[in-house]
Structure 1
Amino acid sequence: MAGHSKWSNIKHRKQSNDLKKSKLFSKLANDIRVSVGNSKLDINSNVKLKKTVDKALSNNMSKDVINNIISSLDTASQIKNVYSATGDNGVSIIMECLDYNKNRIIGEIRYVLNQYNMALVPFKSIEYTYFKIDKISLNSDYNDRLLFYYLDELFLKDVFSNSIYSNIDLSKDLFSLLKVLDIGFEVCKILYPKNVIKLDCNNSNKFCNMIIELEKLPYIANIFSNFLKKL
């Protein structure tokens, strides 16, 4: 009986370890999908994806499995659900989520929102308060003065570091310009608030903490908000 009990215990431990490994790999696979979000599939240019892949490798997920996950991703088709919420001081957020269990998504998002006095609302009710724009990420190899001269000609003022935020109607001209200047770039579509709410330090920290909590949820790919901290 002792021998039987010993091997039975080993079997149960192995089953338990296999279950834990399966859950871990499932979470890592979700993390990889979220890391892609609306960004680049190239691991060398997507820092968030690289960190997630390194974590998966350190947990013994094989390179073949990781490559299969990445190669199967079509970023645009990954976004399946959009949720929005409003709260104190006119703050609103919009969350783009990957395909997942809808009931679980709503339950877990609502749990976080309730802690910050935020409530889910129909997306259509706040969609009109955001612009749909293109975020164009440039490579670092370009002539600043020449590029900014042409951007000024296109009346594009929202330029930060190596990213340009462009009205979708102007993007076609901008893409043509970048190709003529031989500047490499990547494009993703984002939501930008028409009116920005400026919050004091306490409220700003409060809502920033909320976004940090929401970003921990494995199926949330992107979060857009309408608030900034007062200077």
Structure 2
Amino acid sequence: MAGHSKWANIKHKKAAEDKKRGKIFSRLSREIMVAARTGSPDPDWNPRLRLAIDKAYAANMPKDNVERVRQKGAGELEGEAYEEARFEGYGPGGAAIMVDCMTDNRNRTVAEVRHAFSKHGGNLGTDGSVSFLFTYTGVISYPAGTDEDALMEAALEAGADELETNDDGSMDVLVDPESFSAVRDGLIEAGLEPEAAEVTMRPQNTAELTGEDAERTLKLLEMLDDLDDVQNVYTNASFADESVAATG
């Protein structure tokens, strides 16, 4: 999978659409607020907040907006109170699905997530039912054709854990989340601008889906991703049938 599954590609396209309608700013704002509330309000002492702010700037979120949201999270300004919630389950073809949310109304969020799973033939499970199948990892991705030797040298020098080459020739630099920003910045300084960079829940293995199972699972993933309270949707689904059309 390694960030290059059909679902990953769809998510990248959806992110561009979300940006147009402002949805991505809402997600980024919630992440900044929660990070500032649960840790130090100073991004220099809070890696999670630093990463959230970096993502906001990368999405061209205005600096004044970022600071205002940070202040709300830190309690310096009045603002909404969001809590984190994680939901775990399986899709219609048996693929593991994990949904991270930030909500001001947990009952509403539970109902919406449960409805999405049941509508598309999935099953919402208990806490911990699929999270053990994922590893929290920084992934810095490069397209096919990138100089592998140069990337390997720069990655090791920057403190990365591993360089993984995918079937399509693209490459992923894997890094400990705590070192993510430093490694990413080191690679950029070495002249290696990544195609994508994120800290994510990476599946330890994949579940290959075809036909109707693949189509129904994609619809479930997209419905979950469209929910206002959802921050991220992770899956170990691998869609072998490239003819499966994106929905939505």
- Which of the five TM-score ranges fits, normalised by the shorter chain? 0.5 to 0.7
- Secondary structure of 1:223's counterpart equals strand
Residue type of the partner of 2:163? L
- In structure 1, the partner of 2:213 is 203
In structure 2, distance between residues paired with 1:165 and 1:79: 31
- In structure 2, the partner of 1:181 is 190
Residue type of the partner of 1:156? L
- In structure 2, the partner of 1:156 is 163
In the alignment, is the contact (CA less than 8 A) between 1:29 and 1:69 conserved in 2?
no
In structure 2, distance between residues paired with 1:35 and 1:182: 27
In structure 2, distance between residues paired with 1:41 and 1:161: 29
In structure 2, distance between residues paired with 1:144 and 1:119: 43
- In structure 1, the partner of 2:101 is 97
Gaps of 5+ in 1: 1-27, 54-62
Q: Could you tell me which of 110, 115, 126 is aligned with 2:114? A: 110
Measured against aligned partners, the alpha-carbon deviations of 1:149-186 in whole angstroms (never above 9, x if no partner) come to 426866411478997341428957x8285376265678
In structure 1, distance between residues paired with 2:147 and 2:25: 34
Residue type of the partner of 1:168? D
Determine if the alignment matches structure 1 residue 34 to structure 2 residue 27.
yes
In the alignment, is the contact (CA less than 8 A) between 1:135 and 1:166 conserved in 2?
yes
- Secondary structure of 1:108's counterpart equals helix
In structure 1, distance between residues paired with 2:229 and 2:178: 32
In structure 1, distance between residues paired with 2:22 and 2:148: 42
- In structure 2, the partner of 1:212 is 222
- In structure 2, the partner of 1:119 is 123
Q: State the structure with more CA Rg.
A: 1
Pairwise CA RMSD: 4.2
Q: How does 1:44-59 map to 2 (within 5 A)?
A: 45-46=58-59
- In structure 2, the partner of 1:168 is 176
- Select the structure with the greater relative contact order (CA < 8 A; seq sep ≥ 6): 1
Determine if the alignment matches structure 1 residue 147 to structure 2 residue 157.
no
Aligned CA distance change for structure 1 residues 69 and 113 (closer, same or farther; 3 Å): farther
In structure 1, distance between residues paired with 2:189 and 2:82: 32
By how many angstroms is 1:111 displaced?
0.9
- Give the fraction of aligned pairs with identical amino acids, expressed as a percent: 15
- Secondary structure of 2:121's counterpart equals coil
In structure 1, distance between residues paired with 2:95 and 2:141: 27
By how many angstroms is 1:86 displaced?
1.4
Residue type of the partner of 2:119? Q
In structure 2, distance between residues paired with 1:149 and 1:193: 23
Name the count of aligned residue pairs.
182
In structure 2, distance between residues paired with 1:73 and 1:134: 27
In structure 2, distance between residues paired with 1:146 and 1:70: 41
In structure 1, distance between residues paired with 2:213 and 2:202: 20
In the alignment, is the contact (CA less than 8 A) between 2:165 and 2:172 conserved in 1?
yes
In structure 2, distance between residues paired with 1:150 and 1:81: 39
Gaps of 5+ in 2: 1-20, 32-51, 74-80, 242-248
In the alignment, is the contact (CA less than 8 A) between 1:86 and 1:119 conserved in 2?
yes
- Secondary structure of 1:88's counterpart equals coil
Measured against aligned partners, the alpha-carbon deviations of 1:117-165 in whole angstroms (never above 9, x if no partner) come to 2122123121111122112368x9xx84553242686641147899734
By how many angstroms is 1:79 displaced?
6.9
In the alignment, is the contact (CA less than 8 A) between 2:92 and 2:216 conserved in 1?
no
In the alignment, is the contact (CA less than 8 A) between 1:201 and 1:230 conserved in 2?
no
